[in-house]
Chain A
Amino acid sequence: METMASPVLIDVAVKLAVMLGFVLTVVPVMVWVERRGSALIQDRPGPNRLGPFGLIQPLADAVKFLFKEDVTPSAADKPLYLMAPVLALIPAFTTIVVIPFGPTIQAFGRTIPLVVAPAETGVLLFLSLASLGVYSLILAGYGSNNKFSLLGSIRASAQMISYELALTLSVLAVVIPVSSFYLPDVVAYQQTHMWNCIPQVIGFVVFLIASFAETNRLPFDLPEAESELVAGFHTEYSAMRFASFFMGEYASMTALSCLGVTLYFGGWSLPFVHLEGWIGAVVGLLTLVAKVGICMAVFVWVRWTFPRFRYDQLMRLGWKVLLPLAILNLLGVAAATLAGWL
């Protein structure tokens, strides 16, 4: 037992290190991309003093966060207040375990699928762990004992629950023709057919809009609408606790981008090229990183281009447009699969 389990555990540890390293690297890079990208779009220089193109800026930001005073409001519900920033990181860093980042390779006399957790229920596991993210927002709002925080967190949780339905339904529509929840199967299906973004274009649009809402990004960042709610659920947080909400947001953007890329854009695979073994693994990882990078750039681009929705518009869009659209898409895909078109 012990001798059988340990090599598998080592494999998992190495794969986990790769994925965690990926997500942890993305966060500071994204801070830079966001600030420089917003500057580019708003026609101003942005942070350009520290290092070439201001590349060292995220490091300076991190140092600033570490040395700032960490304030806890005296009226806060302390355990909940302190728990919330930690919970913000959990969904983002756990969901990546089901994302495949390369082909199945033969190494050290073993068959190793390049996905941290080769779970049959892959997509569902992702969605269920992602759905836990709402607790950090609720607890942050309630624990702060501040009316802006509470309003922000109620908005955030209502928004996340509403858009989760549309997101889940659009993901299920991808799963139907593949007939597997296992994400490497989804990638393999796209290698033999075409990328899902073409036949599933309606589902992809729903997924895209819902993922902006799920990550509380503009145009759906009502939970932290500055003009109405100061800073929403994280009004009272400072220093590293605030930074961990910040990191959580970028990490969940990364995780959702990974899922989107895997579901709709062939994941780690390149079109028309089939690479195996170690070369396939390296190229696969790089391809995944490149595709996720493009998705993240779109997140930034959209954030600094569109104005914020009104809250009733947000709810109407979620329940009266996206949800029916997602259901119709699901039925359409199911019918097309039955007819043998997909």
Chain B
Amino acid sequence: MEMLIFLLFAALALGSSLVVVLHRNPIYATISLVLTLFCVAVLFVLLGAPFLGVLQVLIYTGAIVVLFLFVIMLLNIQKQGRDESAFAGQGLQAAGAIGGAIVFFLLVGLALWRSGLPELHPLTADLVALKGLSRDLFAEYLLPFEIVGLLLLVAVIGATVVARKPPEDGPATKTNPEGAEL
């Protein structure tokens, strides 16, 4: 039974994530992303971490992907054509992105090498359950948790500042013509 559910949802997750990458219509890709995230949530539940699964649906499928859809609908992004010219001249950016990724992994590797691998414990049922998880999150890992919260706050303020209309009579900051259309 459990195996059957796993196989079904694992296959669905793989299939829908392929659609996310391959489909030319961004709306369909986003809807497939919803399905992918939902299937991954089911897999979390099967792994004995229902809380993570529920949070995945609540935060990602229920809120974040809705905003993706919003942006796609408001910007009216059309279907990607079959020609590859959209990617022409982006070799430098691609190289930069790949280089950045390599540097990132090198830095992580270096940090791990310098500090030594942390001792790994298997996740116990107590740890993934609601109470165990929150006890660890708000006691042992309080500082990282707060720092992540601060990061989100900074992001929210940053987004607000970027999206804000420039003051009417203040020093006229030049409006982005594309932004003004929104």
Question: Do the two chains belong together in a single complex?
Answer: yes
Q: A residues engaging B (CB < 8 A)?
A: 1, 5, 77, 79-80, 119-121, 124-125, 127-129, 131-132, 134-135, 138-139, 142, 150, 154, 157-158, 161, 164, 181
Whether A135 contacts B50 in the complex (CB less than 8 A), given A120-B130, A150-B73, A157-B70, comes out as: no
Q: A5-B1, A150-B73 in contact; A139/B58 too (CB < 8 A)?
A: no
Q: Which residues of A contact B130 (CB under 8 A)?
A: 120-121, 181
State whether A125 touches B31 (Cβ < 8 A): no
In the complex, what's the smallest C-beta–C-beta distance from B48 to chain A, in angstroms?
11
B-chain residues with CB within 8 Å of residue A121 when the two chains form the complex: 50-51, 54, 130
List the 5 shortest-distance A-B pairs measured between CB atoms, nearest first.
Answer: A131-B62, A128-B58, A128-B57, A124-B54, A121-B54
Contacts A131-B62, A142-B69 supplied; 4 other A-B pairs, CB < 8 Å: A80-B28, A135-B34, A142-B73, A164-B62
Q: Would you give the shortest CB distance from B76 to chain A, in whole angstroms? A: 10
Number of interface residues of B (CB under 8 A): 22
Taking the closest CB of chain A, its distance from the CB of B161, in whole angstroms, is: 18
Nearest B-chain residue to A1, judged by Cβ: B1
- Give chain B nearest CB distance to A90 CB in angstroms: 11
Closest to A91 in B: B62
The CA of A129 and the CA of B69, in the complex, are separated in Å by 18
Say whether A142 contacts B27, CB under 8 Å: yes
Q: Is the CB of B58 within 8 A of A131?
A: yes
Residue contacts A-B, CB under 8 angstroms, 30 given: A77-B27, A80-B27, A80-B31, A120-B50, A120-B51, A120-B130, A121-B51, A121-B54, A121-B130, A124-B58, A125-B54, A127-B58, A128-B54, A128-B62, A131-B57, A131-B63, A132-B57, A132-B62, A135-B34, A135-B66, A138-B73, A142-B27, A150-B73, A154-B74, A157-B66, A158-B70, A161-B63, A161-B67, A164-B63, A181-B130
Summed over the interface, the residue pairs from A and B with CB atoms below 8 Å come to a total of 66
When distances are taken between beta carbons in the complex, the residues of chain B under 8 Å from A1 are 1
Residue positions of B touching A, CB distance < 8 A: 1, 27-28, 31, 34, 50-51, 54-55, 57-58, 61-63, 66-67, 69-70, 73-74, 129-130
Q: Which chain A residue has the least Cβ–Cβ distance from B41?
A: A128
Once the chains are docked, how many angstroms separate the CA of A161 from the CA of B73?
Answer: 16
Closest B residue by C-beta to A143: B27
How many whole Å from B92's CB to the nearest CB in chain A? 35
> Shortest CB–CB separation between residue B41 and chain A, in angstroms?
8
* Chain A residue, CB-CB nearest to B70: A157
A339 vs B173: C-alpha distance when bound (angstroms): 51
Q: Quote the shortest CB–CB distance from A139 to chain B (angstroms).
A: 7
Per the bound structure, the CA–CA distance linking A128 and B69 in Å amounts to: 18
Q: State the CA gap A134–B31 with chains docked (Å).
A: 12
- Chain B residues whose C-beta falls within 8 Å of the C-beta of A120 in the assembled complex: 50-51, 129-130
Q: How many angstroms from the CA of A132 to the CA of B61 in the assembled complex?
A: 7
Residues on the A chain within 8 Å of B34, using CB: 135
A125 to B56, CA, bound (A): 11
Instruction: Please judge, given known A-B contacts A80-B31, A127-B58, A131-B58, whether A138 and B50 are in contact too, CB under 8 Å.
Output: no
Whether the pair A139, B62 counts as a contact (CB closer than 8 A) is no
A138 to B74, CA, bound (A): 12
Of all chain A residues, which has the CB nearest B52? A121
Task: For the complex formed, measure the closest distance between the CB of B75 and the CB atoms of chain A, giving whole angstroms.
Answer: 12
